[in-house]
Amino acid sequence: MIRLGIVILVLAAGACREETEVPAATNATGAENAIVIAPHDDRIFAGGIAPPAEKVVNSAARDAKAADVGATLFTGMNCDGCHGGGAVGAVGPSLTDGRWRYGGADADIYRSIAEGRPKGMPAFGGVLQPAMIWRLVAYIKSLPAPKDVPTESWQ
DSSP bridge pairs for 8: 35
Pick 18 or 98: Cβ nearer another protein? 98
Q: Binding to another protein by residue 144, rule CB under 8 A?
A: no
Based on the shown chain and the rule CB under 8 A, indicate whether residue 99 belongs to the binding site for another protein. yes
Q: What is the DSSP string of 4-67?
A: --EEEE---S----GGG--TT---GGG-SSEEEEE--TTSPPGGG-PPPPEEEE-TTTT-TTHH
Nearest to 136 by CA among 71, 55, 85: 71
Is residue 88 close enough to count as binding another protein by CB under 8 A? yes
Least Cβ distance, residue 135 to another protein (angstroms): 17
Interface with another protein, residue 122, by CB under 8 A:
yes
Q: How many residues of this chain interact with another protein, rule: CB under 8 A?
A: 27
> Considering beta carbons, is residue 7 or 77 the nearer one to another protein?
77
Considering only 17, 64, 147, 152, the residue that binds another protein (CB under 8 A) is 152
Out of 94, 115, 129, 145, which residue is the one contacting another protein (CB under 8 A)? 94
Q: How many angstroms separate the CA atoms of 145 and 70, rounded?
A: 17
Handedness of CA 94, 96, 101, 107 (dihedral sign): positive
Site for another protein, rule CB under 8 A = 75-79, 81-82, 85, 88-89, 91-94, 97, 99-101, 118-122, 127, 150, 152, 154
